[in-house]
Chains A and B, each alone.
Chain A
C-alpha cells in the first residue's frame, strides 16, 4: 500500500498542506517554527533510488519555499538531508536499514528512531538557517535556533507521525 503512487501523492499533499496551514503558523518565542515535511523523505524505503530521492527532495523543498517565499533554503536543506541519509541510517541500524521492511518506530525501536529524526532534522535545520543568514559571525545564533527548532520539530514528529506513517509492517 505504501508504494502505491496515488497513496504517496495523497500523503505528500496532505503533509505539505498541514505544514503550510498549521505548522508554519506556529511561532514559539516569536521565531521557532516546527517542520514536519522532511520526514516524508527521511522515512522513504531504504532501497529507494538515491538519485530519484535527491531530485524528489529538491522539489519537495522548493514547493515549501514557494509557499513560504523563502527562495530555495528548504530545497537546499532537504537535498543536504537526503544526501546524508545513508550515513544516518548506518548509525542507527546495523546494515544501514537494508534488513528492515520499512523505517518506523516499530522496526527501529524508539531510541534509534529518535536518534535518526534528531540527527537528520538537525542537519536540515542547520543548513536552512545557515544558508538563510550566510554570515559566520552569527554562528551562535544559528546553532541556538537550530537546536530549538530541532527539538520542537522532534516533538511534532512524535505526535503526528503515527497518523501519516501507519505502523503496518508490510503491505
Chain B
C-alpha cells in the first residue's frame, strides 16, 4: 500500500502530465465531432463577439482589396444587364419575364470567423435562423464557390468550406461539359482536386471549372477554378486534375447565401425516392 503511495508521490508530475494530455485530447476529439459547429457552449456567445471585434478591426486593412472585388463584380453584373443586348429577331423580345421561374435568390452575409490552414476548415457567418438561413444552403463569394451551411444558430451559422475533407462538389468544364467531383486533399488552400474525369476527357491546362447542374445547392455555372495540371491514372482509368481555386479563402469577408426557392419541395420529392428504396 505504501509502495503505491510512494509511486504516486514519486511520479506525480508524470501522472499529472498524462492526465492533462488525455483531457486535452478528449476536448479535441469532442470539438472535432460536435462542438466546432454547435452554438450551445456557454463561451460561444462572448467568443463570437470577441471575434467580431477583431474582424471589424482587421477589416480596415482589407478595405481596398474588398472594394476592388465588389467593383469587379458590379462591372460584371452591369455587363450582363438586359439593355446591353440588342436582338436581331423581333420574336425574342416576346419572351416575357414572368414566364421565367425564379430558382435561386442570393442575400449577403459577412464572414465573422474563418479557418483555412487546418484539415477541416469552417467559416462562421453573421446570419442565422432569424434571417432565413437553413442547413444545406450554398455559400458563394464574389470570386467563386465557398461552401455549404452546416449548423444554424439564432444569429450565426457555420459553413463547411471547399477546404474540408468531407466536402464534395459537382463540377464540370466550361469548354466541353465533361464533369467531375471536386474534393480537397488538405495540403494547399489554393488548390482543389478532381480525380474522376473519364480517361477520354479532353482537358487542357487553363480550362475553367464551374458548378454543375447535378448539384441543386448552387446554380449551374458558378466559377470554381481553373485546371492547373492533369494526368492520367491508368490504374483506375481516370484523369486526375489539380484545380487552382478562384476563391481566396485567406481574404474572405463578403459572401452570398444562395437560397434555393423550391428547396422544401425538392427535399420532399427526394424523400419519396428514399422511401421507395
Q: Which residues of A contact B (CB under 8 A)?
A: 20-21, 25, 27, 30-31, 33, 50-51, 54-55, 58, 61-62, 65-67, 69-73, 75-76, 79-80, 83, 131-133, 135, 138, 141
Contacts and interface: CB of A to CB of B under 8 A. Distances in A.
A21 B54 contact: yes
A60 to B, nearest CB: 12
B189 to A, nearest CB: 7
Given A27-B250, A54-B13, A79 B47 contact: no
Contacts of A61: 24
Nearest to A61: B24
Nearest to B48: A69
A133 B119 contact: yes
A133 B119 CA distance: 7
Contacts of A66: 43, 47
Contacts of A54: 13, 16-17, 20
Given A66-B43, A67-B47, A132-B119, A30 B250 contact: yes
A45 B125 CA distance: 43
Interface string B4-27: 000000001100110011011111
B189 A141 contact: no
A72 B113 CA distance: 18
Given A25-B54, A69-B113, 5 more contacts: A30-B190, A31-B116, A58-B23, A80-B21, A131-B28
Q: Which of A27, A30, A70 has the most CB of B within 10 A?
A: A30
B36 interface: yes
Given A21-B57, A31-B189, A73 B23 contact: no
B21 A79 contact: yes
B168 interface: no
Interface in B49-98: 50, 54, 57-58
Contacts of A141: 187
Interface in B128-167: none
A22 B96 CA distance: 55
Given A30-B189, A31-B117, A54-B13, A71 B20 contact: no
B175 interface: no
A74 B118 CA distance: 14
A20 B54 contact: yes
Contacts of A132: 118-119
Nearest to B118: A132
A132 B117 CA distance: 10
Interface in B18-48: 20-21, 23-28, 30-32, 35-36, 43, 47
Given A21-B57, A71-B31, A79 B250 contact: no
Given A30-B189, A67-B47, A83-B13, A72 B25 contact: yes
A76 B17 contact: no
A67 B53 CA distance: 12
14 contacts: A21-B54, A30-B116, A30-B117, A30-B250, A31-B117, A61-B24, A65-B27, A73-B28, A76-B21, A80-B21, A83-B17, A133-B119, A135-B119, A138-B186
A83 B16 CA distance: 10
A77 to B, nearest CB: 9
A21 B12 CA distance: 37
A135 B25 CA distance: 15
B126 to A, nearest CB: 15
Contact of A79 (B17, B35, B118, B187): B17
A81 to B, nearest CB: 11
Nearest to B189: A30
Contacts of A71: 27-28, 30-32, 35-36
B117 A76 contact: no
A51 B16 CA distance: 7
A79 B13 contact: no
Contacts of B32: 71
A75 B24 contact: yes
A76 B47 contact: no
A75 B57 contact: no
A167 to B, nearest CB: 30
